[in-house]
Structures are given as C-alpha cells and as structure tokens.
Amino acid sequence: MNKTLYVGLDVHKDTIAVAVAEDGRGGEVRFYGTVINSADAVLRLTKTLTKNGHTPSFCYEAGPCGYGLHRHLTKLGFECAVASPSMIPRKAGDRVKTDRRDAQMLARLWRAGGLTPIWTPDEEQEAMRDLIRARKQAVDVVKASKMQLLSFLLRHGLRYENGQYWTKRHRRWLAELRRFRFYHQQLVFEELKRTIDQAEERVARLDQAIEAAIPDWHFAPVVDALRALRGVNTTIASTVVAEIGDITRFDNPRQLMAWLGLVPSEHSSGNTTRRGRLTKTGNALARTMLVEAGWSYRHPPKEGHPYLKRAAHLPQEIKDIGWKAQTRLRKRYRDLSRTGKPQPRVLAAIARELAGFIWDIARKTPLTA
C-alpha cells in the first residue's frame, strides 16, 4: 500500500534542508538532512524517498530562489506546492529559527493542510513578468532622478514658477539654465539631466519590448480584451495579467479583489464589527495599476476616437462590459466624492470594482493555444 510522505524543503542558494512527515495524525516528523541545491541532488533525493512504496509530496516557501525547484519536481512527476510566506502560521512565542526547524514546520503544516499554495507561473509567464517588473524599476529610477534634480535646484534657490514641472516649457527652461557660480555645480546639474534622459530612454525601450512580446504571449487575447476598459492601456493591462496570471482561477470576483488586497481589513468579535483600512495583501504592482486606472473614471462616460479604434475588433459582449464599467464607476466615483470621502478611499473603491469587471472580461475571453 502506497503511503504519502509530506516533504518540507527549506530552500537556499546552495543547500536544501529536508524534513519528512509520515502520513497520518500520529506520523513521525523527522529531519532527513541537508542536500545540495542542484538538479542531480534533488533527483537522488526523490529516488531515496520513493523506496518502500512511498509517494513523496513536496512543499517549500516562496523566496528568492524562484520556481526552478518546483518545475524540476513537477517534471519528475511529483506533487510540489510553493507556499505563500505571508500565510504560513507561526507561533508568536517561538524565538528559535533554524533551517532544520523550518523544514520540519513546513512538513508538518503541509500534512495538516495548513499551507496556502500560490499560483506558480510557467517559464513564459515568468519571462513576461520579468519584463514588466524591469519596466517598473526603470519608471522608479525616472521618478527618483527627477526628484534629485528638483532638490538640487531648490538647494540653490532656483524655482520654476511658470506652470507644471516636466512639460515642454519646463524642460526648455532646464536646458537654458546657466546660473551656477562654480563649474562643478553646472557639471552636476548636467549629469542629473543626463540621468533623467537615459532613464526615460530605458523606459521607452522596455515599452517597445512589451509591445513586441505581447502578440506571442499565451495571455495576449486577455490583454487585448482588457483594453476595452477605460483607463486600461497596454501597459496596465499587460502588467495586471503578468502579475495575476490566470485570472479565471478565481471562482468569483470577490476572491480576486481579496487577492489584490483591495478589501477592508476586519477585526470583529461578538456583537462588535470593526472594519479598517485595506488589507493590501497580494500583489502590490497589480493593485497600483488598478488604482492608476481608476483616475480616468472621474470623467463622464465617453467613447472617444482612440477608444473606438482599439476596441473596434473586440466582440460586442466585451465592449458592452467596458461601457457598463464606464457608467457604473463614473457614478460610483461621483457619489463617493459627494459624501466627502478622501480621494484615496474613492480610488480604492473604484479599483476594487474595476477588478470585478476585469474578472468578467477574462472569464469570457478564450486564450490562444
């Protein structure tokens, strides 16, 4: 009779600590040992654990080592779960942490069903996610570089007072600025401007790479369909799909909203119900993109020429969802603003409902083979 062995793996760059929990409530949880983090060592481990008719089921905590171990074990034909670190139960009074104890804890929780596995992307999905995140890092560099330049000018009493920053007029003012007493200060100023230009060029290159990669992507039809929603351009749509993955894995839109961290936290007991700020669990980048898209719903519903052009080839059912989202979310934005709600709360509410429309569109969009 085959027995399941629940194997907890504490994965590091060079080593993997292995613990085994035998099937059954009274089964022993023992530390197996430490193996090298390599494909050959993992293969030998699986052969050892499958002796005596045992069927190993592996789990490890998501971390910087990625999903290579998960893919390797899956190709060998074994079950392997990657557990969400934020959802692993931990004892408040436990102050001892070692690789051995972590592996045993994972094995014990995996056997008891106390771990929450995450959705693991395939290699194509992870490649697209890497591209999206590289663009996000480049955008952050642009923002930081601009702040450094403005701070430098402010320290020297130079202020632009003819409108908004980073317009064509403002950039022309920067290009003509020659008010520094020392040569070294002028050199620093020019270097700061060059840093901004180079960072913006990097963002433009990555935008082009994203545009070129989307047509061959498995989720390309979903990205295309999501652009039927107002405020959801190619960048936002591809970011949301790259970070979430298969949106249809959520049984209902409320699960997607909770996964994105767009639902209020709650601390209730007895007859007392307390709801607080957003949980902000799940993927922060996808949540940020939805909040950014929510800004567009402060305007009245409208199907302008750019929207009609990019949505002309979409099924009527998808375009109807986009129009419904416009009318509903515009009304929601206006009603919440009239009650005096702070704008961040209003945008969070819009982003939460927008996630529901995204779920509906993804569910009705067939994927490419």
The domain that holds 63 is classified in CATH as: 3.30.420.10
One domain, residues 250 and 286: yes
Q: What's the domain range around 255?
A: 220-363
How far out from the chain centre does Cα 5 lie? 32
Res. 306 pLDDT band, cuts 50 70 90? confident
Whether 41 and 9 have beta carbons less than 8 Å apart is answered as no
Whole-number pLDDT of residue 369: 57
- Look at 14-23, 48-57, 140-149, 346-355 and tell me which has the smallest mean pLDDT: 48-57
Kindly state whether residue 282 falls inside one of the protein's structural domains: yes
Examine the domain organization and report whether 138 and 74 are in the same domain: no
Q: Nearest 5°: phi and psi at 189?
A: -60, -45
**276 within domain boundaries:** yes
pLDDT for 167: 95
Q: Which two tokens stand for residue 27?
A: 């089964």
Last residue of a domain, one of 182, 215, 248: 215
The amino acid that residue 37 corresponds to is N
Domain count, the chain: 3
**One domain for residues 278 and 343:** yes
Look at residue 180 in the predicted model and tell me its pLDDT: 85
**In this structure, is the dihedral angle defined by the CA atoms of residues 59, 65, 66 and 72, taken in order, positive or negative?**
negative
Same domain membership, residue 95 and residue 129: no
Is the pLDDT reported for residue 1 higher than 70?
Answer: no
Domain boundary among 188, 215, 242: 215
Query: Same domain, yes or no, for 202 and 284?
Result: no
Provide mean pLDDT across the span 241-270: 90
Q: In this predicted structure, what is the pLDDT of residue 309? A: 83
pLDDT > 70 in the chain, percent: 99
How far apart are the C-alpha atoms of 98 and 92, rounded to whole Å? Answer: 16
The alpha carbon of residue 231 and the mean position of all alpha carbons in its chain are separated, in whole angstroms, by 19
Residues 273 and 177 in one domain: no
Give the length of the chain.
Answer: 369
Do 292 and 261 fall into the same domain? yes
183 and 100, same domain (yes or no): no
Same domain for 250 and 201: no
Report if residue 11 sits inside a domain.
Answer: yes
In-domain check, residue 177: yes
Q: Among 48, 83, 112, where does a domain finish?
A: 112
**pTM as predicted:** 0.88
Give the pLDDT band of residue 308 (cuts 50, 70, 90): confident
342 with 256, same domain?
yes
Give the per-residue pLDDT at 307: 80
Asked if residue 369 belongs to a domain, the reply is no
> Are 107 and 140 in a shared domain?
no
Looking at the fold, whether 204 and 98 belong to one and the same domain comes out as no
Predicted pLDDT at 28: 85
